[in-house]
Amino acid sequence: MKRITLISPVVTFRLSGKLLLFFLCFSGSMATRAQSDSVFQFIRSVNGNFSYFNVDNLDNIYLITNTNQLKKLDEKGDSVAIFNDVKRYGNPSSIDVTNPLKILLYYKNFSTVVILDRLLNMRNTINFRNQRIFSVHSIATSYDNNIWLFDEQDYKLKKIDETGKLLQETTDWRMLFDSVPSPTRIIDRNNFIYLYDAEKGFYIFDYYGAFKNKLSFPGWTDVEVNGKNIYGFFDNILYSYELNSLNLRSYKLPSFFGDYAGIKAMNGKVYLNKGNRIDIYQVK
């Protein structure tokens, strides 16, 4: 595979109240890898009709079945838990599995979060409207087992506890950015919070809510931060950006993937929802 020197995405740092922009040079692998079995190696399939799936950092798979059950499978594909009340508030907008011990089902239309334990038993529900929070697109479990959310009404990243009590919040983003992002994904990893806006890229904050930098990867879908890598898909290509080395690798999705209803990169693997099964591939 050919290696070439690239200009990185814009990285923005905030120092003493000023925004500084840097273009960093790095050696990356932008030539897409050949479509061969040596790159994407088939591991196994999980049979069944699924409308949604997600994967945690322990290789547990969470599936919503066509009978509206949430199932949790371990790394071997064995069923370990089932939640039968998925549609209590309609269809969940997202399922956050950042912490395998605390699963968040978010129902955007009802501004409600259902909190489950590792065996998918219900622990609690939170209605954001009761906390006077009326517009939230995405949420995530925080490093200390609370909940991050972005309040689109007052443009602040907030952290609340399981009762909905506000624990901390950032400065109004209209004071931070000329063009205010609208994040559709929040990820808490490696001592930072990553918020992704598909039109602008990643906005990265520390655990105190201070803005640290920006990575301009617009247009990506199904983004994930796992280990030392950021993953995303764009134009039938899987991108992997290594945070330490600044290497950006690209993998052209092979034709044998065919059509799929959902895709996710996690733990060095690619998961495909084929409608009647989940196919799992190792990425070499």
Q: Where are the domains of the chain?
A: 4-283
Instruction: Give the per-residue pLDDT at 37.
Output: 52
CB–CB of 232/220 below 8 Å? yes
Cβ atoms within 10 Å, residue 166: 14
Check pLDDT > 50 for residue 30: no
Nearest to 140 by CA among 132, 130, 131, 150: 150
Q: Which pLDDT band, with edges at 50, 70 and 90, does 15 fall under?
A: very low
- DSSP secondary structure, the chain, as one string: ---EEEEEEEEEEEETTEEEEEEEEEEEB-SPPPSSTTTEEEEEEEES-EEEEEE-TT--EEEEETTS-EEEE-TTS-EEEEE--TTBTBS-SEEEEEETTEEEEEEGGGTEEEEEETT--EEEEEEGGGGT---EEEEEE-TTS-EEEEETTTTEEEEE-TT--EEEE---GGGT-SS----SEEEEETTEEEEEETTTEEEEEETTS-EEEEE--TT-EEEEEETTEEEEEETTEEEEEETTT--EEEEEPPGGG---SEEEEETTEEEEE-SSEEEEEEE-
Fold of 4-283: Neuraminidase (2.120.10)
Cβ atoms within 10 Å, residue 28: 20
What are the tokens at 88? Answer: 């209590």
How much is the average pLDDT of 221-228? 95
Instruction: Give the per-residue pLDDT at 284.
Output: 86
Check pLDDT > 90 for residue 6: no
Check pLDDT > 90 for residue 9: no
Query: Mean pLDDT for the chain?
Result: 88
How much is the average pLDDT of 63-89? 95
Is the C-alpha dihedral spanning 25, 27, 28, 34 positive or negative?
Answer: positive
Say how many CA atoms lie within 13 Å of 182 toward its Cβ.
Answer: 6
Portion of the chain with pLDDT greater than 70, in percent: 87
More confident residue, 30 or 174: 174
Check pLDDT > 80 for residue 112: yes
Portion of the chain with pLDDT greater than 90, in percent: 85
What are the tokens at 140? Answer: 């995530």
Summarize pLDDT for 250-267 with one digit per residue, the tens: 999 999 999 999 999 999
Q: Which pLDDT band, with edges at 50, 70 and 90, does 229 fall under?
A: very high
Distance CA 30, CA 282 (A): 20
Instruction: Give the per-residue pLDDT at 162.
Output: 92
Point out the least confidently predicted range of 8-22, 218-232, 234-248, 251-265: 8-22
Q: Which pLDDT band, with edges at 50, 70 and 90, does 38 fall under?
A: confident
Check pLDDT > 90 for residue 153: yes
Q: Say what the pTM is.
A: 0.85
The backbone torsions φ and ψ at residue 72, rounded to the nearest 5 degrees and listed phi first, read: -115, 125
